[in-house]
């Protein structure tokens, strides 16, 4: 999947994704942990992120990409897209 296509899908669904992420207390902070602190997620945090992403992907299917093998490496990209204002 080409990155520009993937980014476009995320941006098109950004408002829905943000709405879902913000409904889960502390999830946005957890998503931004790596970017804001440089610290890696713990095993427990990764487990929580995966559970939340699985639930969000039921509403916004594009999130399912992060549940695929290797998809966890794209999480900083998702955090960046969600945290930046739309242009």
Is residue 23 one of the residues assigned to a domain?
A: yes
Domain that holds residue 59: 12-83
Is residue 6 one of the residues assigned to a domain?
A: no
pLDDT above 70 covers a percentage of the chain that reads 93
- What DSSP designation does 17 have? H
Are 34 and 73 in contact by the 8 Å Cβ rule? The answer is no
Is residue 7 one of the residues assigned to a domain?
A: no
Single out the residue of 59, 45, 50 nearest to residue 13, CA to CA: 59
Say what the pLDDT of residue 3 is. Answer: 65
Two tokens, residue 32: 């931004």
Question: How many structural domains is the chain composed of?
Answer: 1
Asked if pLDDT for residue 2 goes beyond 70, the answer is no
- What DSSP designation does 26 have? T
Concatenate the DSSP letters of all residues of 17-44 into one string: HHHHHHHSTTHHHHHHHHHHH-PPPPHH
Is residue 20 one of the residues assigned to a domain?
A: yes
Say what the pLDDT of residue 60 is. Answer: 85
Single out the residue of 59, 49, 60, 54 nearest to residue 26, CA to CA: 49
Say what the pLDDT of residue 47 is. Answer: 92
pLDDT above 90 covers a percentage of the chain that reads 18
What is the tens place of the pLDDT at every residue in 41-72?
999 999 999 999 998 888 888 888 888 898 88
- What's the pTM? 0.78
Is residue 34 one of the residues assigned to a domain?
A: yes
Say what the pLDDT of residue 43 is. Answer: 94
Is residue 43 one of the residues assigned to a domain?
A: yes
């Amino acid at each position: 999947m080409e990155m520009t296509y993937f980014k476009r899908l995320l941006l098109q669904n950004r408002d829905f994704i943000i709405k879902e992420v913000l409904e889960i207390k502390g999830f946005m902070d957890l998503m931004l942990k790596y970017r804001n602190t440089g610290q890696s997620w713990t095993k427990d945090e990764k487990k929580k992120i995966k559970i939340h992403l699985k639930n969000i992907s039921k509403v916004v299917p594009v999130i399912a990409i992060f549940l695929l093998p290797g998809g966890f490496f794209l999480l900083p990209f998702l955090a960046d897209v969600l945290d930046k204002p739309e242009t």
